Structure 1
Amino acid sequence: MSKEMLNALNALEQEKGISKEFVVEALEVALVSAYKRNYNQAQNVEVEFDLKKGNIHVYSVKEVVDVVYDSRLEVGIEEALDLNKAYELGDKIRFEVTPKDFGRIAAQTAKQVIMQRVREAERNIIYNEFIAYENDIMQGIVERQDHRYIYVNLGKIEAVLSKQEQIPNEVYKPHDRIKVYVTKVENTSKGPQIFVSRSHPDLLKRLFEQEVPEIYDGVVEIVSIAREAGDRAKVAVRSREEHIDPVGTCVGPKGQRVQAIVNELKGENMDIVEWDADPATYIGNALNPAQVVSVTFNEAAGSCLVVVPDYQLSLAIGKRGQNARLAAKLTGYKIDIKSETDMEAITMAKEEVGLEKDVEYAEVIETIESQEQELNEEEIIESVEDLDTEFDEISIDDDVEEGNLDAESAEELIELAEERDGMED
């Protein structure tokens, strides 16, 4: 067995990259357990593997004592001195106890240990290979799917694509080639586990890096991405060189570059806008294709009021508010969009309540509402003072039947009277 064992260890080291010392160390521990199972003794047993000859030796380690109480664990001082005059009390002596049939047990144990170490090594190799692709893009083949995941073959391992990471309404069929973004690589007890995504915004970033050499080289930079996977996305770009148009570079000749990305994402609409150091200009670009008349900021609240032409209000807001929502994600500002007509009404309201023109829109509304509340309270007081009868003298049914008072007006009179009584109290 010795030659076969050494040959197996050498082949393992060359093919799998697993060192012989690493396997032997595990093998010695496993052989101790095997000895205990088969011979019911392992408290003081050591197993030694000879790397030169491939032989396996089992030793029983005993302590030198004056009086022996357990011959399995102890050896008397007189017997120890017969072996070697240098032994003293407390020394450890190894006695070889290798069973004659231990070779068969060792071979079975060695096979199990080697198989286990091979599996562990393969897992580590795969993990080390794919951890380099974390936060990067890979191409895979759809293998199968169940109620939780779609399984994507990446070559040496299957990655999982959860429902939350899929593009809505996208249909995945077996053998489809798709590009996925590796979000996380875990080394679990069952082996490496790779999680991928099709809806992550960084998937879009990596696709642009693949299709646009200027982005890959760093000449054009993607500043921000706002994406609603499967429907629409906005990408803000800027150029590090003045003579290069960042938007035109990303679009490509006849739109070829951006069209390749749209095709990969199954028709997801793509808006590429130019980033600008001026927030007002940047927000105006982000709201494309709508035109922007003016932008007013409230820095404290991190918001802004955008004025657009009346006929472009719906275009600026977008279907179900999508355009405004994506623009807000892209720029980092809360965006309130008003038409020019609405803005004129607000300006008139400012003049009526005596506020300065540069007062924030929210403060205008607050002032108007407070004044309206004061007017309502005055009307209530006047109405209550005009009442000729006390609340308990009002007969709703009689007045309604006689046609002097409708039910709704009667209810209002009761409410006014109740409020009057509260004020008097």
Structure 2
Amino acid sequence: MDASVLEKLKVLAESAKYDVSCASSGTSRSSRKGEIGSAAGWGICHSFSEDGRCVSLLKIMLTNSCMYDCAYCINRRSNDIPRATLSVTELVNLTIEFYKRNYIEGLFLSSGVVRSPDYTMERLVRAIKDLRLIHRFNGYIHMKSIPGASQELVNEAGLYADRLSVNIEIPNETSLKMLAPEKDFKSVFSPMKYIQQGVLQSAEERKRFRYAPRFAPAGQSTQMIVGATADTDKDILSLSSALYQRPTMKRVYYSGFIPVNSYDNRLPALIKPPLVRENRLYQADWLLRFYQFKVEEIVNDAYPDLDLELDPKLSWALRNPQHFPVDINRADYEMLLRVPGIGVKSAKLIVTSRRFSRLGSLQLKKIGVVMKKAQYFITCHELGAKTIHELHPENVRGLLIRKPAHKHDDRQLSILFED
């Protein structure tokens, strides 16, 4: 492989590492005769690393040169960093060479914006189009759509990419204008709308014509930066909830702000990324998508930010003790989902298992219920632990956030308030 291309790869893979919205799911395409690669149903969720480890997804930028000067971006035009640009042919050949060496199964492609959004978008589309049509590449492709790109180019991209994403970056337009003056929400939400229209139109066409082309079959995703502005978790999750109302939005990713441009006074002076907050947002996002929670139940005007010491479901349960304890042998599925320590899978197993016999603590443990949390919020015919009303929420909180000194402390903590 050409040494100059490898040097470009090193620069561009490094520049792409801050974009976290590159996990894949929602598409399944088996290998076909005369084509190379496949997009397996379990998805691809790794990225290319600089140290040479075997990976599943080549995560790279077409170029890290950019006409924008976004305060939070390492690739902003005012930064003095190594710059590199791959030609469309170099990118295509690089992807095929990596696939043939069994380094990757797919491609995550993004780019800085050069000349104009349409110019950059046209080059990205040419790359994935060549992969599909000339090299017959059948693997997974996730492509970043450029904010401000025309509908024609977005429509063409959807014919060749499995997933398209447009990053919102900042959850508030006023904050976005402060940190990225050349951007606005219209340039972001317009491509999102084009992607949604393309997916829905494709679905209708495939109902009438079996072999109609699929448009971005894995839908779309987006990313928000957490901690770069004063926006609360309520602001972030409210926007996420609104995005999930769109039928084609599959994932919202949250990226803890990394202070790569510490000299910019518009940015907060953070020592390290807010990773705990990022994790709590992912947990809250899970509650919105799979546990039937509403945003106002997780965060509201009284509690605008997530509790960093407790996961969001446990925090909600401690603030709403009136809903507990839940009778594990009688409660409906929706209420079981709200019990700390009970997940989607264990809730389904509880509903199924109790048809045949009453459930006790031993059966709940076998099902997969995290009894360390759940014991304070449930009742069953043999559970002797005191509930949240007997111990009071503040005491339960103290028990659950206390760090055990050794592996037996979980059992000891559970009996601290017994008579």
**TM-score range normalised by the length of the shorter chain:** under 0.3
TM-score by length of 1: 0.20
- Greater RCO structure (CA 8 Å; 6+ sep): 2
- Which one has a larger percent helix, Structure 1 or Structure 2? 1
Structure number having the greater strand percentage? 1
Is the radius of gyration larger for structure 1 or structure 2? Answer: 1
